[in-house]
Homo-oligomer: A and B are copies of this chain.
Amino acid sequence: MNNFTFYSPTCFVFGRETENQAGSLVRRFGGTRVLIHYGGGSALRSGLIDRVRASLEGEGISSVLLGGVQPNPRSGLVYSGIDLCRSEGIDFILAVGGGSVIDSAKAIAAGTVYDGDFWDFYCGKRIEKALPVGTVLTISAAGSEGSPDSVITKEEGMFKRGASGDAVRPRFSVLNPALTETLPPHQTAAGITDIMAHLYERYLTNTAEVEVTDRLIEALLLTMIHEGPRVIADPHNYDARANIMWAGMMAHNNSCGVGRSQDWNSHNIEHELSALYDCAHGAGLAVTMPAVFSYVMEHDVMRFAQAAVRVWGCSMDFRHPEVTARAGIEAFRNFLVSIGMPKNFEELGAKEEDIPALVHALCWGNGRQGSISGFVTLNEEDCGKIYRMMV
């Protein structure tokens, strides 16, 4: 195991009606004037924003609203949010929504107290300082409620890139599984896929002897396999929603990824798809992961065989472990299709003729030097082959 530091000082308040504690939580973590950041109108229409605002007002805390965050959140709104925070004297940002809203809130939080362009953080500069952020989560997917990470798409060039820093770890996150019951099935399934991707990205490691994190990742994957179909069959299954919500946080706060190298090539390859086609990130990952895994499987057949046996219940073919490894990837693909995820470019809305542009953006965009690295280093030719496997 590699040396590491793990610091997750987020206070998670989990369960029914916990959004009514938003006011006392903001007060506890020092906020006095709040930007409530949200996405489309559903948080308004459902009355969630009203309940959160009432909770703040109950503590004598004033707030300003900034809605309009899109899936695959854009830099334009981040710049507006930074201006608003500065002009309104905001000292706390409360994200009410899913990963896109939280990521946008984190970008605004970092940008407000930074003299330069906030995009610097998305070109590799570590976030060292930010306004405090809290969240009221409405989608189990990105894990941003417990992570130091944020992903934003820059409109000029449509680059989708990530930034990180403990300063943007949420001070608190309110996790009420009931808030996710009204999501359309496609969004629920895309969230499930995203959570499983966060687990596989950590599973694909080149660090030896990491049994504890292997087992934790497998545990969370097994949870998703059990609960995913149950929540697709019955969107109002609170317990299934609850198990998925905690798994989604645990999948990405890195308690199961410490001390090991991680992959993240599937995320990088997918980011070009959602940047170009504005598809759901999880849907893009559903198409991307089986292709990537099949392409890199030979790098460590036994790791894929282990996942096949321990997670997917495949029988081990001791003479031909690659058969078992492949069966595990196939079982994963079938699972994703069973919950309603797309399986190829066509179903995703992507186009074969765009592959050269996708490869170029992936391997050369935003400072990259012709390849992406992770479990395996992939050059332009590799990436082109992988995109073509998805057609």
Contact = CB atoms under 8 A, between A and B. Distances in A.
Interface of A: 1-16, 18, 177, 208-213, 215-216, 218-220, 222-223, 226-227, 239-240, 242-244, 246-247, 250, 255, 258-259
A216 B16 CA distance: 23
User: Shortest 4 CB-CB distances between A and B: which pairs?
Assistant: A3-B15, A9-B9, A209-B239, A219-B219
Q: In the complex, which of the residues A6, A11, A177, A213 has the most CB atoms of chain B within 10 Å of its own CB atom?
A: A6
Contacts of A246: 1, 212-213, 258-259
A25 to B, nearest CB: 10
Given A243-B209, A250-B212, A259 B15 contact: yes
Nearest to A240: B209
A3 to B, nearest CB: 3
Contacts of A177: 1
Contacts of A16: 3
Contacts of A8: 8-9
A224 B192 CA distance: 29
Contacts of A239: 1, 208-210
17 contacts: A1-B14, A5-B11, A6-B11, A7-B11, A9-B9, A209-B239, A210-B243, A211-B226, A212-B223, A212-B243, A215-B219, A215-B222, A215-B223, A216-B216, A216-B220, A216-B250, A250-B255
Given A223-B215, A250-B216, A259 B14 contact: yes
A316 to B, nearest CB: 13
A180 to B, nearest CB: 13
A196 B18 CA distance: 32
Given A3-B14, A5-B12, A223-B211, A255 B255 contact: yes
B220 A215 contact: yes
Q: In the complex, which of the residues A15, A223, A246, A258 has the most CB atoms of chain B within 10 Å of its own CB atom?
A: A246
B6 A18 contact: no
Given A6-B12, A216-B220, 20 more contacts: A1-B239, A1-B246, A2-B15, A3-B16, A5-B14, A6-B11, A7-B10, A14-B258, A14-B259, A209-B243, A211-B227, A212-B243, A212-B244, A212-B246, A212-B250, A215-B219, A215-B223, A216-B250, A246-B258, A250-B255
Contacts of A209: 239-240, 242-243
Contact of A5 (B4, B13, B220): B13
Nearest to A6: B12
A239 B8 CA distance: 24
A7 B18 contact: no
Nearest to A25: B5
Contacts of A220: 212, 215-216
